[in-house]
Each structure stands twice: as structure tokens, then as C-alpha cells.
Amino acid sequence: KKGGYPHYMIKEIYEQPLALKSTFEGLISDETIIEAADLISKKDKIFIAAAGTSYHAGLVTKYFIEKITGRAVYTFISSEYKNIEYLVDNDTAIIVISQSGETIDTIKAMRSSKNRGGVIFAITNVIGSTIGREANYVVPMRAGPEIGVAATKTFLTQVLVGSMLAVNLGKSIGKINETEYNQMINTLSYSPNIVGSSISMTEGIMKKLPERFSSKNSIYFLGRGLGVPLAYEAALKMKEITYIHAEAYPAGESKHGPIALIEKDFPVFFVVTKDTYEEIASNIAEMNARDAYTIALASEEKLENLQPRLTITVPKVDLLLEPYSLIPPIQLLSYYTAVVRGLDPDKPRNLAKTVTVE
């Protein structure tokens, strides 16, 4: 069943190029995403509600929609939704993101928005799920079944759907022209290849690295811009399957408190995306000065300015493709760390694949 792999998690990490290919081909095979974008573009407010990894995909989606369309997007953690549900009216588009389509907190956010006249756009892997059935529009992820409790291929497929939505919204709103639109879609068609090259470039080091800090009590993941949600996802993955305390912050925020914990060899990962090199370089220097074990995940571009203690090189790609180059090593890191610690990454304690209780 695991196709020769020791765990579902690693199998599903390796399945990502295939999953993304099927997501992409599905998205361009019909008009669903174009129609969804047209409708969302006519609404005054755009909200996103999701939980866990799906929430992080929501933050990436927000980043690209805002960058491409210039329109503000408000993201909410599903379980906090009842505190803001009064903001929803019939001029609100709510994008709910849920792999299973059965997360109770996200179902509740969806239902309360619907009752207030909001229009629901669901991104889900299970179209026959509660969310798939009750949403006004459904954009399927087509990732195939995910068995491992840790979300891997479903994260990147959600990110691809969110990015395709952002590009289509850009066109509906008139922020990008036909040529720019075609270029961006063409760029996203390379997401499966980028995941493949990222895995082959980083797998060797990611197998060895966990030995160095599998006994650590704490790890930080820091990033800026698009790197922030990717860092959040890295910390969640690490906590979930290795039980090592992992926190993520916007790198600039680390000076406002978290840096107090830094001592010799405290591991600090920097998720370095485009246009953040200069500022990240100074954050790395601050951590180096306190003897942290700094590790930068970055493409070769301007790497010499960063000066971390260790660099993990990922493929150099367009901004739209950065999640596909930066996320695979992060997934491999938590997977191999769990293995080194003698844990079963497929069955983390206290967690269920689908959370159906509040």
C-alpha cells in the first residue's frame, strides 16, 4: 500500500509532482476557476477561512491575490471566525480551504457566512464532503488521497489552486493583460518540475541534517513576505511529527522577543524568498552574533550576502514558484527528524487526520 516506501508521508512527499500535474491539468480543463474568479472580483470583500496547514495555504493565497490584484484579502483561522462573522454581508466572497472538507471549525465558518449572505468558494480535495456539497462554488484540488496525518501534497496543491485563483482574479479585475496572464499560467505549469528538482537537490542534506539537531528542544523558522507562511508551515510540520518545539515568526519580529531564547547552537532556519535577501542577511547576522546555528534555505541568487552557518540551496525560480522550491526540503526535514527520533510520522500522537470536534 505504501508503494515500497516506509511511510505514507514520504510517499506523499514524492507524489507531489504528480499531484500538482493533476491539479494544474484539472484547473485548465474547464472554466471553474475562471468563473470563480469572475464572481469573486465583483465582491467588495474577500475573506479566507481555514485551519492548520490549509490556513497556511490561505496565507499564501492572500499574498498572491494582494500582490497580483492590489486588493486586500482578510484571512481568518476557522475556529476564530465567530468573532468576526458579523463582518460578512452579501458583498463578501469567502474562500474556505479544507483538504478533507470535514473540519468542523471550517464548516461552521462556511455556514455562518452563508447565513449572512456571503458567497462561498471552497478549495477542497473531497468534492463529496460537507464543504464540497454546501459551498456555492467548488474548486477541486485533485491531490489524490492523502493518508499521512501531516499534510504534504495537499498543501502544495492548495497553494497551486490559490495561485491560479490569484492570476485569474488579476485578469478579471483588469490588473494583468492577456500576455501577462498567459505568462503566469505558463510559469505555474512548471510547479511539478520545480518540486521534483527541489527534492533531488535537497534530499541528501535533509537526510543528514536531522542528526545534528534531533536532540534539540527548540527550533525557529523565520522568513519575510512569502517566506512567513512557508515558515509557519515548517514549524507546524516540525511540531506535529517530531514533537520538537518549533516556532515561526516574521524575521523582523524575532528582535521583539523571540531572540531572548537564542543561545549557542540554537537552530534558526531562514526561509529566504525573493526580494528579502538584504533584510534577511541582517537577521542572520543578528542570530550569528548570538552563536545561533543559522541555516538558510535559499536559491543561489545573491547567496554570498547571507552568510549563514549552513546553506541549503533550492532551485532558483520566479516568485510564483517559490513555494514549490522551498517547501519540499522543509517537509523532508521534519520527516527525517521524526525517523531519527524513532517516531512514526504517519501517526503523530494526539492528532487525527480530520478534526471533527470543536
Residues forming contacts to ligand M6R in the complex (CB under 6 A) are: 51-54, 98-100, 103, 106, 149-151, 236, 240, 354-355
DSSP state letter for 79: G
The residue (of 310 and 355) whose beta carbon lies closer to ligand M6R is 355
The residue (of 34 and 104) whose beta carbon lies closer to ligand M6R is 104
Least spacing, CB of residue 9 vs ligand M6R, in Å: 10
Measured from each CB, the residue nearest to ligand M6R is 52
Least spacing, CB of residue 68 vs ligand M6R, in Å: 24
The residue (of 164 and 241) whose beta carbon lies closer to ligand M6R is 241
Whole-angstrom distance, CA of residue 50 vs CA of residue 195: 24
Least spacing, CB of residue 49 vs ligand M6R, in Å: 10
Place of cell 496547514: 53
| 132 contacts: CB under 8 Å, gap ≥ 6 | 101, 122, 124, 126, 138, 140
CA angle 113, 171, 158 (to 5 degrees): 50
Least spacing, CB of residue 11 vs ligand M6R, in Å: 15
Least spacing, CB of residue 321 vs ligand M6R, in Å: 22
The residue (of 106 and 113) whose beta carbon lies closer to ligand M6R is 106
Which amino acid type is present at position 113? S
Whole-angstrom distance, CA of residue 125 vs CA of residue 143: 6
Scored b (16 or more CB within 10 A) or e, 93-104 reads bbbbbbbbbbbb
The residue (of 150 and 259) whose beta carbon lies closer to ligand M6R is 150
DSSP, collapsed to helix, strand or coil, labels residue 300 as coil
Least spacing, CB of residue 314 vs ligand M6R, in Å: 21
Whole-angstrom distance, CA of residue 161 vs CA of residue 48: 13
| 152 contacts: CB under 8 Å, gap ≥ 6 | 9, 12, 13, 16, 146, 331
The residue (of 190 and 324) whose beta carbon lies closer to ligand M6R is 324
DSSP, collapsed to helix, strand or coil, labels residue 184 as helix
DSSP H or E stretch at residue 108: helix 104-115
Least spacing, CB of residue 142 vs ligand M6R, in Å: 15
The residue (of 41 and 79) whose beta carbon lies closer to ligand M6R is 79
Strand-pair partners of 46: 73, 93
Contact 94, 49 (CB under 8 A): yes
